[in-house]
A = this chain, B = another copy of it.
Amino acid sequence: MKILIIGAGGMVGRKLTVKLQGAGALNGQPITALTLADIFAPEVPQGGIKTTSVAADLSRDGAAEELLAERPDVIFHLAAIVSGEAEANFEKGYRINLDGTRLLFEAIRQAGQVEHYYPKLVFTSSIAVFGEPLPAVIPDTQVLTPLTSYGTQKAIGELLLADYSRRGVFDGIGIRLPTIAVRPGAPNKAASGFFSGIIREPLAGLEAILPVAETVRHWFASPRAAVGFLIHAAELNTATLGQRRSLSMPGLSATVGEQIEALERAAGLDAVALIRREPDAKIIEMVAGWPKDFDSQRATDLGFVGDSDIDEIIRIHIADELKGKIGRGAA
């Protein structure tokens, strides 16, 4: 089995690569080749599988064709310009997130017209396809109402995925990832960054800024759960999906206050004391339009497994990123 990961240089892509390298197989079949693609050639982790790293701009004519030259059996399409950048740079967001995705889908269609080619394609969508007004708990039948260009591009990707799958071009599945927490690494400028920051920074003995009220509710998954969703999606028999090829993953609904209580259980009041309240009107307004909770029964019925609680999300971060140690200098 040959696997292609587009967007392999990102945080989730790197963790997926390591997981596949470790497993050595997908859906019971040995992985014979792994191709990692991103705008910069991704680092190749140590492992027994023959792995190739490629720098590719999916929006360049011919780039998708090159990535498909080996006819991968499974394609993970994780590549995207993220929310903040797609909002700041309208043209770049549409070029990569919409045109890039469409060029990939078209290249698969063209390949299939020359010879038999019918890969499994896992597309990462996002809860950013939903925006207020929303019901308190969002069902899988909810209309997609993105309030960002990024969310719009992901919603369009879902529609294209469904149509190309219906046409028999590939066997597609789209999974809407919750906000990933705890996201490792340095704080970034994403408006959602504080959801990770208020856990990650105090666990490392550093100060974190909380720009919203503790009553704010949001929808989370650990990086480990996200990788699990991707692998389960690749292994899933999509006949069970019908024509509805995209679905919301089983995240965890929690308030900022509940996050802080879990932080206290994990690292004590000293850690909690490192959270500095600094209300930011712009972030407060943005976050107010974001989804808070989902009915992910459909995904659960299909065997997707999320995190059990915020305490587990914190334990995963401590185990996977901090080698089990907390406090200053641990990260």
Residues of A within 8 A of B (CB): 90, 131, 133, 135, 140-147, 149, 152, 155-156, 159-160, 162-163, 166-167, 242-244
Contact = CB atoms under 8 A, between A and B. Distances in A.
A209 to B, nearest CB: 28
A34 to B, nearest CB: 32
A102 to B, nearest CB: 8
A141 to B, nearest CB: 5
Contacts of A166: 147
A36 B163 CA distance: 32
Contacts of A146: 159, 162-163
Contact of A144 (B131, B133, B140, B159): B159
A142 B144 contact: no
For A140, A149, A159, which residue has the most chain B Cβ atoms within 10 angstroms?
A159
Decide if the interface of chain A is mainly helix, strand, loop or mixed: loop
Given A143-B140, A143-B143, A145-B243, A160 B167 contact: no
A226 B294 CA distance: 37
Contacts of A144: 143-144, 159
Given A152-B160, A152-B163, 19 more contacts: A131-B243, A133-B242, A142-B143, A143-B143, A143-B144, A144-B144, A144-B159, A145-B162, A145-B243, A145-B244, A146-B162, A146-B163, A149-B167, A152-B159, A152-B162, A155-B159, A156-B156, A156-B160, A159-B159
What 10 pairs across the A-B complex have the smallest Cβ distances?
A152-B163, A141-B143, A156-B156, A152-B159, A143-B143, A155-B159, A149-B163, A156-B159, A142-B143, A147-B243
A203 B142 CA distance: 42
Contacts of A162: 145-146, 152
A189 to B, nearest CB: 20
19 contacts: A90-B167, A131-B243, A133-B242, A140-B143, A141-B143, A144-B144, A144-B159, A145-B162, A145-B244, A146-B159, A146-B162, A146-B163, A147-B166, A149-B163, A149-B167, A152-B159, A152-B160, A152-B163, A156-B156
